[in-house]
Structure 1
Amino acid sequence: MTQTTERPAAAPGAPTGTAPAGPSARIAVLKRDGGVAAFEPAKISAAMRAAFLAVEGQGAGGSSRVRELVDVLTGQVVAALERRYGAGRSVDVEEIQDQVELALMRSGEHRIARSYVLYREEHARLRAAAASLPEPDDASRGAELPQMPGGARIPDLRVTGPDGGQAPLDVDRLRLVIGEACADLDPAVDASAVLAETVRSLYDGITAAELAQAPVLAARSMVETEPDYSRVSARLLLDVLRTEVLTLLAGEPQQASQAQMAERYPAYFADYVRHGVADERLDPRLLDFDLERLGAAIRPERDLDFTYLGLQTLYDRYFLHTRGVRFEMPQAFFLRVAMGLALEEDDREARAVQFYEALSSFDLMTSTPTLFNAGTVRPQLSSCFLTTVDDDLDAIYSGIRDNALLAKFSGGLGNDWTPVRGTGAYIKGTNGESSGIVPFLKVANDTAIAVNQGGKRKGAVCAYLETWHIDVEQFLDLRKNTGDDRRRTHDMNTANWVPDLFLQRVEADGDWTLFSPDEVPDLHDLYGAAFKDRYEHYEAEAAAGRIAVSRTVRAKDLWRRMLTMLFETGHPWITFKDACNLRSPQQHAGVVHSSNLCTEITLNTSRDEVAVCNLASVNLAQHVGPDGLDEEKLRATVRTAVRMLDDVIDINLYTIPQAENSNRKHRPVGLGLMGFQDALFTLGLPYASEAAVEFAGTSMEAISHAAISASADLAEERGAYASFPGSLWSQGVMPHDSVARVAEARGGDLDQPVVERQDWASLRERVQRTGVRNSNIMAIAPTATISNIVGVSQSIEPQYRNLYVKANMSGDFTVVSTSLVRALKERGLWDDVMVSDLKYYDGSLGAVDRVPADLKALYATAFEVDPHWLVRAGSRRQVWIDQAQSLNLYVLEPNGRTLDELYRAAWRQGLKTTYYLRSSSRTHVEKSTLKGTDGRLNAVAVAPAAAAVPAVPAAVAPPVTAAPTAVAAVVPTGAPQPAACSIDDPECEACQ
């Protein structure tokens, strides 16, 4: 839709188009301090728009009318100054501001001009006042109780208690709680403003519950202007939690400030454990710990480290409760998890303190099932379960039953359905024909919905199918919103398990034959050269008419359909069978038949073995500084993490015997990472850069070396895992050594460089000599939820947007890039106009003229980073990982050629799996202000197509590489964005 706007008449000789974007070389600005700076028209535009914002509200700053008008007026000011001063002369700041006033008046914008005049006068007054005052004492900042602005008085109000009785509002406590919450944060945090906004929402007779929430919502509404208000909101929510917890344990109303709670924490902790055991929530063995010693180890100040999103997530779904009333404070939560993991340790208290320190400092975080259940009476701590569904009715329904039992306590599921015979295959027992896998997948889908994990979240499952299965085309359609709904699985994830031979046929434009597995049963267990030989044998058999159920298709056509469905429905994902198996350390013990719910686990499965994996993630942001990676700290964190994960195996509650047998025999764990984007911000490395790709490899190599060393330490202490003999580990083959096996199988067609920086020679020798404790050690999970808790970017993801509203099961949350705000403040660029710009451009800096190019490159958002950079970084990481990684791919404008090149690049560069394909959504950040709301945010507003993320800055363009011949475009640009591809799917958290 084209929109026209009436423009004011331009001054003679003034430009009528867009205002100049960059500094003017003809004019210099004489600053108030006597210095000289380049003249920047973008600053004039920002000042004008600030005046419009002040008069017309936040919505004005992002309107097309205002933007076009400001561009014209800026052009007029520039032209007037250039006529008057010409080249080489300096112009005073006040003269520039005079010209802005004149331009506003001539355009007829008298109210805006008046606001601009008042703005100048107020800032002149503030400059004069600041010059006469001493510098504030930073040590005392935030210590005083907030006052109402202008000396206003808080009205006399009464508060209605739970019993219906009323009491006067405790004004002093309200001021104390807000003052504590705002202390020691960014100077821009204004406790008086939070107090005023809180008072604005109060009324006579307000309930105690509403009063407790009022400051939280007041601070929450300010997050977009200063990210530290998120921490203020979290601290105010802490006060709600303290009251809830202490009242329950005391049996009568109790309150405590943060300072008071710090003193009470040790005694509270002992009461908490006793109550939890009596309430049959906590394992009675926790009473055997030295509770006084553990209580003394608690760090109360760490309660203040949460963002609002993190603490609200814990409050809603993680903290233990008695019939909806919580009795678990944050540090008790972390210590409970630590104690639960230390139950089998020799010195339980010392290990519990070690684990607690790692968790509560946010150096690492275990996965959601471990956080939910460690230390409780039902300690199901594992994240992922992988199963193979065999080809008979009893096995099929046993597999669906196993799904229900495994999902009950928060497990995420990956099911290998390839063995189940396809449509039209002969059934000897009934002398009939099979209906194929789709009807059974429908039952599995509905089972996942029925088992909702106690209301905490839906069951989650992913079905895998090999590309040669006769039902693969029906499998591709499972997530479509059209067609027979009885043959659709709207809630089940799906993934293609793709052999190398298929992609080789695509590149050769060859044929591809589909079979029913009952006639070609050995294909399921073969990979590499053995698969190729046997597959070609079956093709010859089919051509000779000796196979009853088969069909030949053009490989490119099937590949096109796979990519089309991936774009249209978000499924099935693309995962690579041969890379997963050729690099598996457990080749001697079985076959990897699928990945898991989130595509990072690659473990063997069979009818008798259900693979289990236990996850944790290192917070990489906590292990980097401006000078690089702190390898010593990283090694210590990894050592603790691997020990915790190994303990999970022995403590875990197993709901089916096949899972327990497999897990105790092989003892796999999956250590990953999160906060990768935050680490890049600290290092000043744009995601789309060679340096970031290099860092992805070096940081993962350091984690890999430390994790394998830690597992070898445990092997010396506790013994190697039972199936160690014959493994790649026992042969001295480290994860990166196995890359050569993939290259050999593909005839050298692999673009995945390997460069050693750590001391691998001595580690190889040690592992061969002593063994490792765990068959598999590393896997990078999505971490969407635990990264929210910690307050860092999830997993290895690029930053989604610099300002957006995040929706999950705890509600809607304004998310602002703290790192970006800090950088903009350092350059004097963070103001209301910048907030408006970020909303208007949906969290992107690309089109904001006054932001320097280096910041645009560093803070490029996910859809501004060419996805080939994500593949290259993933490839470098994959070298060092014995399992896989949950790698999302972001494509701004998908089409067939783009997706074909991207996924073939992922295959050729040695990735084992890929996860979601994310395309830019049709909804964006609310363009109007969030200030003045009650905190229940209006998450998104439909935006015109023209408001999509702007063009990628040149600084983040991908390297030009020769791409293979592309399949013709088949995916329609502009198709509806599938709900399953939202940036944060709150229903899919089993691995997180």
Structure 2
Amino acid sequence: MLAVNVQESNTSLAVGLRVVRRDGSVTDFDPNKIRVATTKAFLAVEGDSATGSQRIHELVDTLTEQVVAALSRRQPANGSIHIEDIQDQVELALMRGEHHKVARAYVLYRAERARERAAAQPQKQAEPQIHVTLDDGSRKALDVRALAQAVHEACAGLDDVEPRLIVEDTLRNLYDGVPEKELGQALIMCARPLIEREPNYSEVCARLLLRELRSEALGFVFNEHRAASQAEMEAAYTDYFQAYIRCGVDLELLDPRLLEFDLERLGQALDGKRDLQFGYLGLQTLYDRYFQHWEDTRFELPQAFFMRVAMGLALNEIDREARAVEFYELLSSFDFMSSTPTLFNAGTLRPQLSSCYLTTVPDDLSGIYGSIRDNALLSKFAGGLGNDWTRVRALGAHIKGTNGKSQGVVPFLKVANDTAVAVNQGGKRKGAVCAYLETWHLDIEEFLELRKNTGDDRRRTHDMNTANWIPDLFMERVRDEAEWTLFSPEEAPELHDLYGKAFAEKYREYEALADAGKIRNFKRVGAVDLWRKMLGLLFETGHPWLTFKDPCNLRSPQQHCGVVHSSNLCTEITLNTSDQEIAVCNLGSVNLVRHLTDDGLDQDKLARTVRTAMRMLDNVIDINYYSVPASRNANLRHRPVGLGIMGFQDALYALGIAYGSEQAVAFADRSMELVSYHAIWASTELAEERGAYSTFQGSLWSQGILPLDSLELLADSRGGALELDRSATLDWDSLRERVRRGMRNSNCLAIAPTATIANITGVSQSIEPTYQNLYVKSNLSGEFTIVNPALARELKALGLWDEVMVNDLKYYDGSVQPIERIPADLKARYRQAFELDPRWLVEAAARRQKWLDQSQSLNLYMSEPSGPKLDALYRLAWERGLKTTYYLRTMGRTHVEKSTVTDGQLNAVPMAPQACSIDDPDCEACQ
């Protein structure tokens, strides 16, 4: 039975894969042939005793599955692979499993067969002629010169790449009768494995993909077979762009108002040379998930994509063309990138451009299911969701209408979980939601266990993210090793809307009522015991995340007109919610690396970028499609936006700074101060032009209290206990006076994860440290070998980048620390995420937090977690005044893909960890 199951699994993995034989013929891939060959190798070494046969049978099944999985990862559906490559993978699987004697027997067998073939054919045979099958079924001889020319064009201007390697490997993998449409993909598949040897092959792959995209898009738009070189496309972009817009409108994919723009003027503004900026992962991601398509045919080219987004954001501008060009310049240069929903939907018939939605769920059946319905509608068009469930009564609470007892919050969370799975955002990315519950809720202990893999599955939510919403009073009770009381919210209703000193006072009153017997449904636990359980489940399941209620509220500019009841899916948004308002935030990120000079950050350029970016984000609010009225109400009243950053780690590399250092903490402080200063300034300028947001009066802004100043409010609530550097370098007094006169946006700043948009622009994600210097990244677009280009550049300069170094990096899972010939200063600067002391991440985040009116998506990495270490780390986060934390990453078993370099030796490419249910390994829920 095991053999049947493995065979079925392997077959499903390798559907459509074809094998090119040595004589040039092609056959369907058959996993059973791998099983037979591997079994023979084992039998030749170990014999065929009854006990041994059973063991061999099981080993062969496992090895066959590994080989087929590796082949499937390296080839697309309906692709082809040479028989020698399959045999190479078998060798590597045997070596990986440490079956060295069997591997040696297999190698000798291959060598003997090669000699036999040579003896049988002493005369060198002419290479078989390869013919290409055209779409109409006719055949023509393969034009090898044209194939080579395409590869040479893709390699032009790039150092350390060899077109010959790609051409030779491609010819070896082609077969007579290969469909013409597979030629381009074959080139890409043969170039892709070279990325791990030389990062510049990523750009080669991108250019080869661009060649295919040009042919696909031009053919569709002009309704005729067309291909164009890079130079030809640069000249043809203007004509193509006008035809593309008309085509998109005719297909009812694009907003007809785009036809009202001066399309010729906009087409002339497109810079075709910027197509060459992409790496392979970035362009493949755009191709798979962002470009406009009709029945799986992509007809949107990169510069048209950026201009379409720019036009969609300029629809309401007076001089639309000038603003569209301004926005296009920012996007296409990679200086700034809008969030994924904006990139998906700007300029379309359903411009759902906002990133995050926050709701609070009422404590009645109609309200609960209304909130779940809202989740579905908001998720449909790519919104990330954060739900506050604290008001829903706990298990065992009395239900007046039926005179029964409540089943608590967990069954409703199960429904919300399944709704998120069902609504997958049009197939572009998975729907996702995060549920928040305050730490005093009587169901909190069950809530902590929602992501466990054991227990009653009806009370588990395997696809939903969860987060604790922790008041300062609980952390104080943990510090003092005191008791903590859990309440059902219908018996302690005021706690939900209180924070700081007012919460603490009311909480003690409810405890007194419970002691007096006036509250029946409550429970006493040790605060330290509950804290330990929170940390234990966080380590075990990755959830619930730890977020802090009081810093989010006490530092909120909008505390005069509501309460922050939760954060969002990625923990960077902190906005008020109520039954009448679903909070909405609109996100985008500044690329720090694009604003560096030899002297550091270019403040003038950064100011210009931020000014335009804030205008783009503010425009989202008026253009956005609102599927739920309560979200429109909140967004138009308060106009919050969230400008963030990405490429922080890359900026440190460029500046020669190690992430785990005081210099990195200082750079985090300085860079965020600059972005914050210019974002707030830009919002005051927008207020002068367009008017202040409607609830400005009474806000902290109207009182001249800026994010830096609001630290004092938090410190006062904590009795002065807030350990944080509060220094500043810019002229905040002048800005404070401007702010008092009016702000366009209630909130301006939030740092989102940026996983996908960082991939598009080819920089490190958000504020993340480098995960590994060499690994395989897996997302909805496939698997991609990622090499740290900054490390490769520095090692090249030292004459240390070669195949031996690549193999060493694979052997050590991307780490440079064990490689003796690497200088100590490089080892310090190229520490991987799990090699950093996580306290540096908290210290850098704390410096950023003082400049943010919202929060940041902060992942924490710990290689050797323990209870005391987790306790110290998360207490430090609270003590430093952080508002939220995100994923806790812990070192687990490394998953590897075996691959080869030219010497055919075994080497392992680590796989990136899986994370948020939205998309990739470093959650892109909002981006």
Do the two structures share a fold, i.e. TM-score over 0.5? yes
Could you say if the C-alpha distance between residues 989 and 941 of structure 1 is closer, same or farther in structure 2, counting changes exceeding 3 Å? closer
Deviation at 1:939, TM superposition (A): 6.7
Match of 2:704 in 1: 732
Structure 1 distance, partners of 2:922, 2:417, is 14
Structure 2 distance, partners of 1:892, 1:467, is 28
Could you say if the C-alpha distance between residues 931 and 787 of structure 1 is closer, same or farther in structure 2, counting changes exceeding 3 Å? farther
Once the two structures are superposed, residues 207-256 of structure 1 have per-residue CA deviations (whole angstroms, 9 ceiling, x without a partner) of: 12221101111111100111000000000000111111111122222211
Within the candidate set 628, 640, 647, 1:668 is matched to 640
Q: Which sections of structure 2, spanning at least 5 residues, go unmatched?
A: 1-87, 101-107, 109-124
Match of 2:772 in 1: 801
1:434 aligns with 2:406: yes
Which residues of 2 match residues 837-986 of structure 1 at below 5 A? 837-926=808-897, 928-929=899-900, 980=915, 985=920
Structure 2 distance, partners of 1:451, 1:230, is 34
Which residues of 2 match residues 600-619 of structure 1 at below 5 A? 600-619=572-591
Match of 1:991 in 2: 926
Structure 2 distance, partners of 1:279, 1:983, is 29
Within the candidate set 730, 740, 749, 1:758 is matched to 730
Deviation at 1:723, TM superposition (A): 0.3
Match of 1:271 in 2: 243
Which residues of 2 match residues 61-210 of structure 1 at below 5 A? 156-186=129-159, 188-210=160-182
Match of 1:682 in 2: 654
User: Does the 8 A contact of 1:58 with 1:836 survive in 2?
Assistant: no
Match of 2:457 in 1: 485
User: Does the 8 A contact of 1:342 with 1:351 survive in 2?
Assistant: yes
Once the two structures are superposed, residues 722-763 of structure 1 have per-residue CA deviations (whole angstroms, 9 ceiling, x without a partner) of: 000000000000111101111111112111111111110000
Residue 171 of structure 2 aligns with an amino acid whose one-letter code is: V
Could you say if the C-alpha distance between residues 762 and 58 of structure 1 is closer, same or farther in structure 2, counting changes exceeding 3 Å? farther
Could you say if the C-alpha distance between residues 673 and 931 of structure 1 is closer, same or farther in structure 2, counting changes exceeding 3 Å? farther
Match of 2:684 in 1: 712
Structure 2 distance, partners of 1:809, 1:461, is 18
Match of 1:454 in 2: 426
Which TM-score applies when normalising by structure 1? 0.80
Match of 1:42 in 2: none
Match of 1:425 in 2: 397
User: Does the 8 A contact of 1:283 with 1:375 survive in 2?
Assistant: yes
Once the two structures are superposed, residues 780-807 of structure 1 have per-residue CA deviations (whole angstroms, 9 ceiling, x without a partner) of: 0000110000000000000001000000
Residue 908 of structure 1 aligns with an amino acid whose one-letter code is: E
Within the candidate set 337, 352, 357, 2:309 is matched to 337
Residue 150 of structure 2 aligns with an amino acid whose one-letter code is: V
Q: Secondary structure at the match of 2:194?
A: coil
Within the candidate set 264, 285, 299, 1:313 is matched to 285
1:781 aligns with 2:743: no
Could you say if the C-alpha distance between residues 686 and 776 of structure 1 is closer, same or farther in structure 2, counting changes exceeding 3 Å? same
Structure 2 distance, partners of 1:467, 1:499, is 7
Q: Which sections of structure 1, spanning at least 5 residues, go unmatched?
A: 1-53, 67-110, 112-151, 943-976
Could you say if the C-alpha distance between residues 584 and 543 of structure 1 is closer, same or farther in structure 2, counting changes exceeding 3 Å? same
Could you say if the C-alpha distance between residues 938 and 265 of structure 1 is closer, same or farther in structure 2, counting changes exceeding 3 Å? farther
Deviation at 1:592, TM superposition (A): 0.2
Structure 1 distance, partners of 2:787, 2:918, is 15
Once the two structures are superposed, residues 515-572 of structure 1 have per-residue CA deviations (whole angstroms, 9 ceiling, x without a partner) of: 0000111100000000000000000100111002100000000000000000100000
Greater displacement, 523-532 / 174-183: 174-183
User: Does the 8 A contact of 2:777 with 2:911 survive in 1?
Assistant: no
Within the candidate set 446, 466, 483, 1:494 is matched to 466
Which TM-score applies when normalising by structure 2? 0.85
Structure 1 distance, partners of 2:613, 2:240, is 28
Deviating beyond 6 angstroms after TM superposition, the runs of 4 or more aligned structure 1 residues are 56-66, 152-155, 981-984
Deviation at 1:60, TM superposition (A): 12
Structure 2 distance, partners of 1:213, 1:931, is 22
Match of 2:715 in 1: 743
Percent identity, aligned pairs only? 65
Structure 1 distance, partners of 2:127, 2:551, is 67
Match of 2:318 in 1: 346
Once the two structures are superposed, residues 881-930 of structure 1 have per-residue CA deviations (whole angstroms, 9 ceiling, x without a partner) of: 00000000000011111100000000001110000000113124435426
Q: Secondary structure at the match of 1:223?
A: helix
Once the two structures are superposed, residues 299-351 of structure 1 have per-residue CA deviations (whole angstroms, 9 ceiling, x without a partner) of: 00111110000000000000000111111000000000000000000100000
Within the candidate set 335, 342, 348, 1:376 is matched to 348
Match of 1:822 in 2: 793
Deviation at 1:167, TM superposition (A): 2.0
The number of equivalent residue pairs is 814
Deviation at 1:650, TM superposition (A): 0.4
Match of 1:527 in 2: 499
Within the candidate set 292, 295, 311, 2:267 is matched to 295
User: Does the 8 A contact of 2:813 with 2:908 survive in 1?
Assistant: no
Match of 1:361 in 2: 333
Match of 1:964 in 2: none
Structure 2 distance, partners of 1:155, 1:64, is 38
Greater displacement, 240-249 / 470-479: 240-249
User: Does the 8 A contact of 2:764 with 2:770 survive in 1?
Assistant: yes
User: Does the 8 A contact of 1:512 with 1:555 survive in 2?
Assistant: yes
Q: Secondary structure at the match of 1:812?
A: strand
Could you say if the C-alpha distance between residues 425 and 925 of structure 1 is closer, same or farther in structure 2, counting changes exceeding 3 Å? same
Structure 2 distance, partners of 1:427, 1:545, is 19
Could you say if the C-alpha distance between residues 638 and 154 of structure 1 is closer, same or farther in structure 2, counting changes exceeding 3 Å? farther
Deviation at 1:154, TM superposition (A): 8.4
Structure 2 distance, partners of 1:359, 1:640, is 11
Could you say if the C-alpha distance between residues 593 and 404 of structure 1 is closer, same or farther in structure 2, counting changes exceeding 3 Å? same
Structure 2 distance, partners of 1:981, 1:404, is 18
Within the candidate set 277, 292, 298, 1:326 is matched to 298
Deviation at 1:175, TM superposition (A): 2.0
1:280 aligns with 2:215: no
1:260 aligns with 2:195: no
Structure 1 distance, partners of 2:254, 2:903, is 42
Structure 1 distance, partners of 2:236, 2:488, is 66
Structure 2 distance, partners of 1:932, 1:205, is 31
Deviation at 1:63, TM superposition (A): 11
Deviation at 1:197, TM superposition (A): 1.8
Once the two structures are superposed, residues 363-421 of structure 1 have per-residue CA deviations (whole angstroms, 9 ceiling, x without a partner) of: 01000000000000110000000000011111000000000000000000000000111
Match of 1:414 in 2: 386
Residue 695 of structure 1 aligns with an amino acid whose one-letter code is: F
Match of 1:565 in 2: 537
Deviation at 1:778, TM superposition (A): 0.3
Structure 1 distance, partners of 2:135, 2:910, is 35
1:399 aligns with 2:371: yes
User: Does the 8 A contact of 1:891 with 1:919 survive in 2?
Assistant: yes
Deviation at 1:64, TM superposition (A): 10
Could you say if the C-alpha distance between residues 157 and 262 of structure 1 is closer, same or farther in structure 2, counting changes exceeding 3 Å? same
Structure 1 distance, partners of 2:632, 2:484, is 39
Structure 2 distance, partners of 1:879, 1:154, is 68
Residue 424 of structure 1 aligns with an amino acid whose one-letter code is: G
User: Does the 8 A contact of 2:693 with 2:743 survive in 1?
Assistant: yes
Deviation at 1:168, TM superposition (A): 2.2
Could you say if the C-alpha distance between residues 259 and 781 of structure 1 is closer, same or farther in structure 2, counting changes exceeding 3 Å? same
Could you say if the C-alpha distance between residues 153 and 325 of structure 1 is closer, same or farther in structure 2, counting changes exceeding 3 Å? farther
Match of 1:232 in 2: 204
User: Does the 8 A contact of 1:704 with 1:778 survive in 2?
Assistant: yes
Within the candidate set 557, 562, 584, 1:590 is matched to 562
User: Does the 8 A contact of 1:570 with 1:981 survive in 2?
Assistant: no
Residue 471 of structure 1 aligns with an amino acid whose one-letter code is: D
